[in-house]
Amino acid sequence: MSATSAILSPHGAGAPAFTQVKANFELVAKYGDNVPLYLFSDMFLRVPALRELFPVHMSRQRERLMAALSFAVEHAHNLPEITPYLHQLARSHRKFGTEGEHYEQWSASVVNTMQRFSGNMWDEGLEEEWRDFLSLLTRTLSEGARQDASLRPAYWTAEVISHERRSVDVAVLRLLVDRPFKYVPGQSAPVEVRQWPNMWRYYSMANVPRRDNTVELHVKAAGAVSRTLVCDVREGEVVKLGAPVGTLTLNPNTGRNILLIAGGTGFAPIKAVLEHVTKLPVPPWVSVFTGARERGGLYDLDVLRDWEQKYPWLTVRAALSELEDQSVATTGTVGEAVSRYGRWEGYDAYVCGPPAMVDGTVAMLHANGFTDNRIRLERFAGAATPSRRFAI
Amino acid sequence: MTDSMEPFPPPGQPLVANANGNGHAAAQDLLPWSDAGESNAEDVWEEPAWDEPQAAPSGDPSGDRLTPAELRAVVFRRAPLGKRGLDEHQVNSLLDRVEAELVRLTQEKRALETEVELLRDSAARQPEPVAPPREEPAARPQETGLARVDQAEHAASRSVAGRVQEAHVYAASLLSQAQQTADQYIKDAQRYSRELIEDALLKRGTILSNAAAEGDRTVGVDAVGQEIARLRTANQTYRGKLRDYFELMLMNLDEWETAEGAGGST
Ligand SMILES: Cc1cc2nc3c(=O)[nH]c(=O)nc-3n(C[C@H](O)[C@H](O)[C@H](O)COP(=O)(O)OP(=O)(O)OC[C@H]3O[C@@H](n4cnc5c(N)ncnc54)[C@H](O)[C@@H]3O)c2cc1C
Ligand code: HEM
């Protein structure tokens, strides 16, 4: 059972390298979705209460679990190398209510599952190697969770104190967080609504942190959670927030001017970054481009126009890509608008919106001479966690 | 690994300059701002009070199998999937089957446990009757007797363990099947609601752009401003009507969502 016993194992030709585990996993992984299906079923049969901690819909869960497990197996010979990843995984699992003993139950199910799919390849040596690997893995996870627990709560709760339906599919919500909620303007936080237990989706805070612990969220109805936030949630309702993440944050030290580009509710973090700029002693020139498909998508343009009046260093331009309305916006995508106005040598760009809009805009920025180190971005990907991103 | 399967930026990926070890910008470097105009006094970040340690809703890991009564809860606790076009009947009949299997397995397991107990008892008792024929010079009979009982018990408990294991594997694959079915139903329902909404948005777009085109044709050279105003009003009316229609539809969908999401908030 101990981590070192693998070394002493009679089967241990290079045991610390977990070669048996790797080979076995590769073999078992061929059974595809059946593997995590069995793993979860085994775990839920043995410990029914654990089912409560997962979403109803499990297919994405299974994919992620297998992706994470195979990543860990791949690095089994050198887990310290992926410790930062494992710690982050454990941190993000605190809000799910995951505890050390759950990881142990999970490990037991991994062993059962591997045994089940290995047939007569399974023997005591292999089992012992799996147990050693899993105990290293869960120890790292528990340690990550433990460290994080000394820094912040597992989650925050927040009351919806205002809910404005700004258009057919966009709402602006204000939340009162139950305790100080530290973040950098431009970051996002995972949100869980009562209606969809254990399904956390990221939403970006649209303001700089306030003393009164209120945050503003801009939500576009797209799927399960967002539609609930837009159509269902009322004032007084309570939601949960997880620890903030994200790198679409202001870099005030480049000496360059700032180009902010938003698509749809991608305006939320852009608005926070803009408010951050207003707090700088000497704000640089700022150009904001905000785009949507139709007028309703420019749900916060009034505020922007007010700020434009108020701050001489700020210019605001809006673009509508599908249903034009020349009285408020130019026609076309934001990317096209940016490129039309272009002479952006002295600027850093911050881009946020749906993945296609972000990718299109970044391509346009590249064509206009922007290098990746002058671009920060956030894609509002469907994935529950911020996906791959590059930034300054 | 695909993007969606990649839970975090993989290790070693370049992170931003002001990122800390988390790969996230360092929130702790910044104090909360005050609202414009508010005094910027000493607002020092306080270590957040911790949550009460969450009592892990620990199930009984003693190896007790799921009881049939618990099954529904395990798979569908929060998803009464009967609403809006979902075939409740199918879901139920699947569940019934799984339940029946579990009843059978539970009973079987109990029977097996009783069997094991009986075997143990008899194993414990047997040495005595075997022991008396001390007079016999050979030391073997007792040995043999004991060995036989031992063997029998061993074989029995092995086969019991084997059968319990088999039952567990079987239950797990049934549960897997039930989960897959649930996943499929939820996916279908989500696609259905997405299609409804996309369709409505499309129609709405067409109506709005038709309205705009109609407006264009009637725009006179001299009265542009007026026409724009007229168009706006028309737009607004369309929008209002559509909005009512759309909200109604959303309400229906929400009903389903709420039912699914909150239904069994047990
Ligand atoms: C860092 C970050 C910050 C974010 N900030 C914001 C924000 O400030 N405001 C905001 O509105 N959003 C934001 N998002 C997006 C948000 O987190 C959610 O992804 C979004 O609201 C959709 O979640 P959902 O549960 O409503 O939809 P889901 O049910 O998860 O569906 C996601 C999308 O995929 C589509 N979809 C689902 N299944 C299928 C399928 N089988 N085939 C085709 N399409 C499918 C849905 O229609 C939907 O468009 C952010 C995302 C990230 C990663
Ligand atoms: C046994 C206890 C565990 C519980 C209760 C648990 C629960 C959850 C929940 C609720 C989610 C979010 C689902 C969503 O938002 O839709 C999640 C996501 C995820 N889980 Fe787990 N999980 C557990 C163990 C693990 C382990 C051991 C691994 C990896 C080895 C893992 C890997 C992941 C990954 C990669 C994600 C997606 C990324 C994220 O959201 O952080 N989980 N898990």
Summarised one tens digit per residue, pLDDT across range B26-85 is 443 444 453 433 333 333 323 222 222 222 233 333 333 444 444 444 444 333 433 433
* Within-domain flag for B22: yes
Q: Residue B22 has what pLDDT?
A: 39
* Within-domain flag for B249: no
Q: Tell me the per-residue pLDDT of A34-46, one tens digit each, with 9 for 90 and over.
A: 999 999 999 988 8
B253 chain-A contacts, CB cut-off 8 A: 227
Average pLDDT over residues A109-126: 95
Q: Is A80 helix (H, G, I), strand (E, B) or coil?
A: helix
* Within-domain flag for B248: no
Q: A24: which 2 tokens? A: 């076995």
B 119-158 residues with CB below 8 A of A?
Answer: none
User: Per-residue pLDDT for A339 more than 50?
Assistant: yes
Domain A3-149: CATH class, spelled out: mainly alpha
Residue A185: which of B56, B21, B31 has the closest Cα? Answer: B31
| Alpha carbon nearest to ligand 2 atom 27, residue | A103
Domain boundary residue, one of B214, B239, B257? B214
Distance between alpha carbon A119 and the CA centroid of its chain, in Å? 39
Question: Is the same domain home to B11 and B100?
Answer: no
Q: Are the Cβ atoms of B5 and A63 closer than 8 angstroms? A: yes
Residue A288: which of A238, A347, A331, A247 has the closest Cα? Answer: A347
Q: Bridge-partner residues for A213, per DSSP?
A: none
Task: Determine what percent of chain B is predicted with pLDDT higher than 70.
Answer: 14
Residue B32's domain spans which residues?
Answer: 7-47
Q: Residue A56 has what pLDDT?
A: 78
Ligand 2 pocket test, pick from A58, A62, A65 with the greatest ligand atom count within 8 Å of Cβ, gives A65
Ligand 2 pocket test, pick from A63, A64, A95, A155 with the greatest ligand atom count within 8 Å of Cβ, gives A64
* Within-domain flag for B230: no
Of A196 and A280, more confident = A280
Question: Is the same domain home to B122 and B83?
Answer: yes
Q: Are the Cβ atoms of A232 and B258 closer than 8 angstroms? A: yes
Q: Residue B102 has what pLDDT?
A: 56
Q: Residue A232 has what pLDDT?
A: 85
User: Per-residue pLDDT for B5 more than 80?
Assistant: no
* Within-domain flag for B65: yes
Average pLDDT over residues A217-233: 90
Q: Residue B251 has what pLDDT?
A: 46
* Within-domain flag for B68: yes
Contacts of A316 (CB under 8 A, 6+ apart): A288, A290, A301, A304, A305, A307, A308
Question: Is the same domain home to B132 and B181?
Answer: yes
Q: Which ligand sits nearest to residue A61's alpha carbon?
A: 2
The whole-model pTM stands at 0.73
**For the purposes of burial, counting CB atoms within 10 Å of the CB of A285, is it exposed (0-12), middle (13-18) or buried (19 or more)?**
middle
User: Per-residue pLDDT for B238 more than 60?
Assistant: no
Report the alpha-carbon distance of residue B266 to residue B262 in Å, rounded: 9
Mutate to test the interface with A, among B1, B2, B8, B227 (most CBs of A within 10 A): B8
pLDDT interval class at B167 (50, 70, 90) = confident
Question: Is the same domain home to B68 and B177?
Answer: yes
Residue intervals of chain A classified under CATH 1.10.490.10 are 3-149
User: Per-residue pLDDT for A371 more than 70?
Assistant: yes
Distance A69 CA to ligand 1 centre (A): 25
Give the CATH architecture of domain A257-389. Answer: 3-Layer(aba) Sandwich (3.40)
Report the alpha-carbon distance of residue A246 to residue B73 in Å, rounded: 36
Contacts of A149 (CB under 8 A, 6+ apart): A94, B50
Q: Which among A44, A45, A102 has CB closest to B56?
A: A102
User: Per-residue pLDDT for B210 more than 60?
Assistant: yes
Residue intervals of chain A classified under CATH 3.40.50.80 are 257-389
Tell me which chain A residue has its CA closest to the CA of residue B63.
Answer: A46
Contacts of A356 (CB under 8 A, 6+ apart): none
Amino acid identity for residue A16 in this structure: P
Give the total number of structural domains in chain B: 2
Q: Residue B180 has what pLDDT?
A: 80
Question: Is the same domain home to B76 and B34?
Answer: no
What rounded mean pLDDT belongs to chain B? 49
* Within-domain flag for B266: no
Q: What is the ipTM of this complex?
A: 0.72
Q: A89: which 2 tokens? A: 């995984």
Give the CATH architecture of domain A156-241. Answer: Beta Barrel (2.40)
Q: Which value, in Å, is the radius of gyration of the alpha carbons in chain B?
A: 35
